[in-house]
């Protein structure tokens, strides 16, 4: 790499992963700009991406494997020792308890997806299929609903925001958290166009709500009542798309009967929304030619979260806002980011496995319980459950109880402090990466990107870590055995395909190791820096087989490319296009082919959820007397992102992660703006700096995510930066079906902090941020 040059890559701060260019100066990222050549983001850049150098270069990077001593401190060891010892201990766990006693936590962090295929390969070869991750902390209720509606939990809805004339945003703030490409540009276009409208449901008057034609400031936790009242109003007014329902759905009569039983006025009161506003909402829906609904964690981690996801989908389907330009769709996949696991159960907690994932809310129970199949070993890859999972105290207790805990990460995270071994990974900008959050329709994109800066000395990319581990475990054949496959890959793709098929037929036990086999064979024939993308070859072949016409449109491939060659053409396009490439381009009519039910219809009636709907009690909508405030834990703000950002200097605003409080609530406490306040829940307490914010409803509070991390000061002492919100959360405060936490509805109370303690916190804040 030259001393100073621009390199194309992608932002790793949210799952849109916009294309960017970074100026590399003497091996360090110095500047960031949008990549105008990226076909999806087209040069778009938000304020957060400009601060990526603070992720790539900071004082908390790990540069050597670490082994925990008996006194809890760590000692540096070399890679060969670390791999050999870990392999021996993994074998011992499997021999004593079986592979099912091992679980993966993580397996690809934000924008850091290439490693996931490799860690899964090793653990599956050992007999483990247990996975906890951020998706099962947030989204599995939605996946469960989709499985019933569309026939598979891998069916997933997308939003055609660019072409809608009504954007209905529920529990989301895309101005800050994005969630669809070029979000701020799209919101500005809607705001400026008199023929396009925006409705927002959110307790807080967010930045997006400020732009809305109608903001429904729902009572925290009452989203199901409001959505039910809106749906019942549409039923009452017969404002439904009956032709759509007859042609494309099953089960509408059962849904209609359940919605007609809703007492609209009573539910509107529970939601604290006047009936005229619900009528106005219905008027705007009826007037829209193309409505798209955008939801996020506000309802997916709110009270009744799985039911909320169902009601959101009913709003889409009953109005026929699906499968047309400007409405919601299903999107295609290169490779699904999660699985389909109906009727599977995780024995240690007797829990349904949804999308092949386990909810972090059950992690501690899965370790600390007395079930014979409880977890004894957890492998943590690019994740930080000690900070991100509910009930910090129980999670830490579970981590300490494990026979073996290994953490692979770029920094000494809060979870790594409890590990037996910590392995230093190269950062996302020091290795080949790609992004699996590809949710666009009609055109879907994929972006493979090589590293842009040299790996930090002492670190390894995940494919190398797991290659070494698999060989130490005796799972992966040696170079001499794989040499014929490498030679075939260098001759031609056709030669490699034939050799690989023959090898797998002769070695069926190697099937779980497919990613590692491809990396160590096909990977050597790929463009420089992209070897880690080798496992995508099989995904590209499968995608081309599933949707050949959509792939042809995306690639602009004519008849000169045969069906047999199409998958390789797609793969080659992905690994050579430095700004990313379109992988599928569908017509809107093809959305029905993406439904997995044999009849290609949406099955609306889900008995368990209709029963749940019928049992909702408006009397439960108010706050508890002993904990009168409702805290939204893990709010997204202008300068927070995720747990991979550890350097406090990256935040220009909100350095302490302030507690947002309505001015009247702050005054009733006798506190002032900027004062340190104690926040107490039934699970624990923290102290946070208060910030008066009248965008909050009275009785509603918010704390951000991405804080609560320890970071070394210039003199080497580690100090905590900001609120560790999951000290307040309770793992039992969760959805009854999916187990997702009600993080947006944590009951708390507030207390003033003695002046002496406040002064100490003020001094600590100055040390951290000085």
**Per-residue pLDDT tens for 458-482?**
999 999 999 999 999 999 999 999 9
pLDDT over 70 at 422, yes or no: yes
Average pLDDT of the chain, as a whole number: 95
| Interatomic CA distance for residues 125 and 129, integer angstroms | 9
The pTM assigned to this predicted structure is 0.96
Residues in contact with 555: Cβ distance below 8 Å, sequence separation at least 6, in sequence order = 561, 569, 570, 573, 581, 582
CA dihedral over 259, 264, 266, 272, signed as positive or negative:
positive
pLDDT over 90 at 302, yes or no: yes
Q: What is the pLDDT of residues 33-55, one digit of tens each?
A: 999 999 999 999 998 888 888 88
Q: What is the pLDDT of residues 324-335, one digit of tens each?
A: 999 999 999 999
Q: Specify whether the CB–CB gap between 327 and 336 falls below 8 A.
A: no
pLDDT over 90 at 727, yes or no: yes
Nearest one of 58, 254, 220, 228 to 148, comparing CA atoms = 254
Nearest one of 234, 222, 111 to 171, comparing CA atoms = 222
Mean pLDDT along residues 698-705: 96
Q: Specify whether the CB–CB gap between 209 and 202 falls below 8 A.
A: yes
Q: What is the pLDDT of residues 228-280, one digit of tens each?
A: 999 999 999 999 999 999 999 999 999 999 999 999 999 999 999 999 999 99
DSSP assignment of 85-125:
HHHHHHHHHHHHH-GGGEEEEESSBTTB-HHHHHHHHHHHH
Q: What is the pLDDT of residues 648-688, one digit of tens each?
A: 888 888 999 999 999 999 999 999 999 999 999 999 999 99
| Interatomic CA distance for residues 407 and 419, integer angstroms | 6
Report the pLDDT value the prediction gives residue 1, as an integer from 0 to 100. Answer: 44
* Structure token digits, residue 166: 């009504």
> With pLDDT > 90 as the criterion, what percentage of the chain qualifies?
89
Mean pLDDT along residues 730-753: 96
Mean pLDDT along residues 489-507: 96
pLDDT over 60 at 701, yes or no: yes
Q: Which residue has the tokens 């501690």?
A: 364
pLDDT over 70 at 110, yes or no: no
Do the bridges between strand 166-170 and strand 197-201 make them parallel or antiparallel, or are there none, so unpaired? parallel
Report the pLDDT value the prediction gives residue 607, as an integer from 0 to 100. Answer: 98
* Structure token digits, residue 634: 């893990």
Q: What is the pLDDT of residues 372-406, one digit of tens each?
A: 999 999 999 999 999 999 999 999 999 999 999 99
pLDDT over 60 at 12, yes or no: yes
| Interatomic CA distance for residues 218 and 420, integer angstroms | 46
pLDDT over 80 at 514, yes or no: yes
pLDDT band of 587, cuts 50, 70, 90 = very high
pLDDT over 90 at 435, yes or no: no
CA dihedral over 623, 625, 628, 631, signed as positive or negative:
negative
Q: What structural domains and CATH numbers belong to the chain? A: 4-56 (2.20.25.90), 66-136+337-585 (3.40.50.740), 157-330+603-612 (3.40.228.10), 623-769 (2.40.40.20)
* Structure token digits, residue 13: 């701060």
pLDDT over 60 at 2, yes or no: no
Q: What is the pLDDT of residues 361-377, one digit of tens each?
A: 999 999 999 999 999 99
Report the pLDDT value the prediction gives residue 111, as an integer from 0 to 100. Answer: 59
Which residues of 175-264 form beta strands (DSSP E)?
197-201, 214-216, 249-250
pLDDT over 90 at 642, yes or no: no
Q: What is the pLDDT of residues 122-162, one digit of tens each?
A: 999 999 999 999 999 999 999 999 999 999 999 999 999 99
* Structure token digits, residue 387: 């900070």
């Amino acid at each position: 790499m030259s001393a100073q040059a621009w390199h194309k890559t992608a932002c790793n701060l949210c799952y849109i992963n916009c294309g960017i260019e970074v100026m590399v100066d003497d091996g360090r990222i110095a500047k960031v700009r949008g990549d105008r050549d990226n076909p999806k983001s087209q040069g778009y850049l938000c304020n957060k991406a400009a601060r990526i150098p603070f992720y790539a270069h900071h004082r908390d990077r790990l540069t050597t494997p670490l082994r925990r001593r008996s006194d809890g401190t760590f000692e540096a060891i070399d890679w060969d020792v670390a791999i050999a010892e870990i392999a021996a201990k993994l074998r011992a766990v499997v021999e004593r308890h079986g592979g099912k006693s091992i679980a993966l936590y993580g397996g690809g962090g934000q924008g850091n997806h290439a490693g996931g295929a490799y860690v899964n390969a090793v653990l599956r070869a050992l007999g483990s299929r247990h996975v906890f991750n951020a998706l099962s902390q947030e989204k599995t209720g939605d996946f469960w609903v989709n499985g019933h509606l569309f026939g598979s939990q891998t069916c997933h809805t997308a939003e055609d925001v660019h072409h809608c004339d009504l954007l209905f945003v529920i529990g989301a703030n895309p101005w800050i958290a994005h969630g669809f490409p070029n979000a701020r540009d799209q919101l500005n276009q809607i705001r400026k166009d008199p023929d396009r409208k925006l409705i927002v449901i959110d307790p807080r008057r967010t930045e997006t709500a400020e732009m809305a034609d109608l903001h429904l400031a729902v009572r925290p936790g009452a989203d199901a009542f409001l959505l039910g009242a809106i749906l019942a109003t549409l039923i009452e007014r017969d404002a439904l798309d009956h032709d759509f329902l007859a042609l494309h759905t099953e089960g509408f009569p059962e849904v209609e009967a359940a919605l007609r039983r809703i007492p609209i006025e009573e539910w509107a009161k529970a939601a604290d929304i006047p009936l005229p506003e619900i009528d106005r909402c219905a008027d705007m829906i009826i007037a829209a030619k193309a409505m798209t609904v955008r939801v996020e964690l506000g309802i997916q981690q709110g009270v009744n979260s799985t039911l909320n996801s169902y009601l959101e989908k009913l709003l889409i389907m009953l109005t026929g806002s699906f499968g047309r330009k400007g409405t919601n769709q299903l999107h295609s996949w290169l490779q699904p980011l999660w699985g389909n696991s109906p009727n599977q159960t995780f024995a240690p907690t007797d829990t349904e496995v949804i999308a092949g994932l386990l909810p972090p809310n059950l992690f501690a129970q899965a370790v600390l319980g007395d079930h014979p199949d409880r977890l004894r070993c957890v492998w943590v890859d690019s994740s930080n459950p000690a900070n991100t999972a509910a009930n910090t105290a129980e999670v830490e207790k579970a981590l300490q109880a494990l026979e073996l805990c290994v953490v692979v990460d770029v920094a000494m995270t809060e979870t790594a402090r409890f590990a037996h071994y910590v392995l230093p990974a190269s950062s996302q900008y020091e290795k080949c990466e790609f992004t699996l959050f590809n949710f666009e329709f009609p055109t879907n994109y994929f972006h493979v990107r090589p590293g842009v800066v040299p790996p930090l000395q002492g670190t390894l990319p995940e494919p190398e870590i797991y290659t070494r581990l698999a060989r130490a475990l005796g799972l992966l054949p040696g170079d001499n055995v794989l040499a014929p496959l490498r030679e075939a890959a260098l001759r031609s793709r056709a030669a490699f395909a034939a050799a690989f098929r023959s090898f797998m037929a002769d070695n069926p036990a190697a099937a779980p190791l497919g990613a590692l086999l491809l990396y160590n064979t096909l990977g050597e024939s790929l463009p420089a820096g992209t070897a880690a993308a080798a496992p995508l070859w099989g995904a590209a072949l499968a995608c081309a087989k599933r949707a050949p016409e959509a792939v042809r449109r995306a690639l602009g491939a004519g008849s000169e490319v045969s069906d047999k060659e199409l998958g390789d053409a797609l793969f080659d396009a992905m690994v050579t296009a430095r700004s990313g490439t379109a992988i599928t381009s569908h017509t809107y009519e093809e959305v029905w082919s993406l439904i997995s039910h044999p009849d290609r219809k949406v099955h609306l009636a889900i008995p368990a959820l209709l029963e749940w709907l019928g049992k909702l009690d408006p009397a439960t909508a108010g706050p508890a007397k002993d904990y009168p405030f409702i805290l939204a834990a893990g709010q997204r703000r202008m300068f927070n992102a995720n747990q991979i950002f550890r350097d406090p200097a990256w935040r220009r605003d909100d350095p302490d992660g302030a507690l947002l409080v309505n001015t009247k609530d702050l005054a009733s406490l006798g506190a002032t703006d900027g004062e340190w306040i104690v926040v107490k829940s039934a699970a624990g307490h923290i102290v946070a700096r208060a910030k008066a914010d009248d965008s909050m409803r009275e009785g509603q509070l918010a704390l951000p995510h991405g804080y609560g991390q320890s970071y070394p000061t210039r003199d080497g002492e580690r100090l905590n930066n900001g609120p560790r919100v999951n000290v307040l959360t309770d793992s039992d405060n969760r959805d009854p079906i999916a187990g997702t936490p009600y993080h947006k509805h944590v009951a708390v109370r507030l207390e003033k902090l003695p002046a002496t303690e406040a002064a100490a916190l003020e001094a600590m804040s100055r040390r951290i941020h000085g």
